Amino acid sequence: MRDEIKSVHLEQLLTRLRERHAVIGIIGLGYVGLPLALRYAAEGFHVLGIDIDAAKVDQLNRGESYIAHIKGQTIAAARAAGLVASSDFSRVVEADALIICVPTPLTAYREPDLSYVIGTVESLLPHMRPGQLLSLESTTYPGTTEEELRPRLEARGLRVGHDVFLVFSPEREDPGNPDFHTRTIPKICGGSTDACLEAGLALYRQAIDTVVPVSSTRAAELTKLLENIHRAVNIGLVNEMKIIADRMDIDIHEVIRAAATKPFGFTAYYPGPGLGGHCIPIDPFYLTWKARQFGLHTRFIELAGEINSDMPAWVIAKVADALNSRSRAVMGSRILVLGIAYKKDVEDMRESPSVALMELLRARGAVVEYSDPHVPVFPRMREHHFDLSSVELTPASLASYDVVLLATGHSAFDYELVRQNASLIVDTRGVFPTRSPNVVQA
């Protein structure tokens, strides 16, 4: 009888997905959840988006976008296709598949903070029913799905693999990257049981070109961490190489360009003022925390994290040296930071190293302002606040600063205007010619 119930629930779910009658519930409508909701809407599914931010819900239901690289017309088309946003968790009973896309930050002690994930699951559970699929996309440590989500489902009498189906499928969004989109980025999926994996593959194959199954949710969780730790470690390496090259008076960007001509065995990574975004600065700590439970010390990963964390202070030292060479101190100097988003051509400021640079400069007595076409007004942040608006770049405004510090290399900046009018440029992105008399590479 149990096998029959299992078969009925799974077959009904697979049929609804295959025939595109299923309702897809997306919980968390940010940089990950919103593109996924739009993807399913574009494939003809009814999509229920749930977010606790009432402002986001209202904007979506008006057909408006709150993410710069997603156009309002795309939202309006999804609304016409059946996308509905809500803050009412009781509506999850309507959904056949529930996909969790919420943040997984760190605590003040650099340990995993699963409060958003656990809070979301606890809000879903009273309204879940047999026959539903639950997928977690939030980056986390290996074991989260089995140790935190599965027991909560089964405590409610929902037998995983029989009544409901549980998978982990890590997000792989790259906001602002025009070369890759939700549909074309291969999707990893691991299930709690074979039946769960079958359901998860059926869900994602409706909207993603390539879905890659792995043997377990733990393997899927570790896959995501490996991807991001790979980047963090290699960025740490190239940042250390930058410091060495600087001491030897060698242009590290010239070296990287030359090394990249090798057609095998080398992948180009580029230095910067530190790590930013919600993934690369945070995810390695999820693995180092979990590894300690197995008596392991992740020395290599933590060393890379230390190097990357020290980069803002190294950049500020370069600013101070550049000013000293002109008989100026940091204190009292007017400094313009170019670009405060965490990466090129986006408005996302999560963990942005530019903000760390601004804090360090302000602490040393500098008068700090910024210019960023993607961030017209400095937003309210939990740990940082500047009562500032973006400065328009003109010959007069650029000439008025003692230093222009390039932190994030947006395409919209007129770099020739900056080079011609700034008296001193500190360049953390290798944009300006290093032999220019007013340019210092950092």
Question: Which amino acids are annotated catalytic?
Answer: 279
Q: Quote the CA–CA distance of 69 and 241 in Å, as a whole number.
A: 33
Q: Residues of 3-32 as b/e, b for ≥16 C-beta within 10 angstroms? A: eeebeebbeebbebbeeeebbbbbbbbbbb
Q: Quote the CA–CA distance of 186 and 150 in Å, as a whole number.
A: 25
Q: Quote the CA–CA distance of 410 and 412 in Å, as a whole number.
A: 5
**Which residue pairs, CB below 8 angstroms and at least 24 apart, start in 302-309?**
303/236, 304/232, 304/233, 304/235, 304/236, 304/237, 305/232, 305/236, 306/236, 307/236, 307/239, 307/240, 308/232, 308/235, 308/236, 308/239, 308/274, 308/275, 308/281, 309/274, 309/275
C-alpha dihedral sign at 8, 10, 13, 14? negative
Q: Quote the CA–CA distance of 299 and 296 in Å, as a whole number.
A: 9
- Torsion angles phi and psi, residue 256, rounded to 5: -65, -45
Residues 6+ apart with CB under 8 A from 262: none
- How long is the chain? 442
CA separation, residue 323 to residues 320, 368, 391, 425 (Å): 5, 15, 22, 10
Number of other residues whose CB lies within 10 A of the CB of residue 396: 9
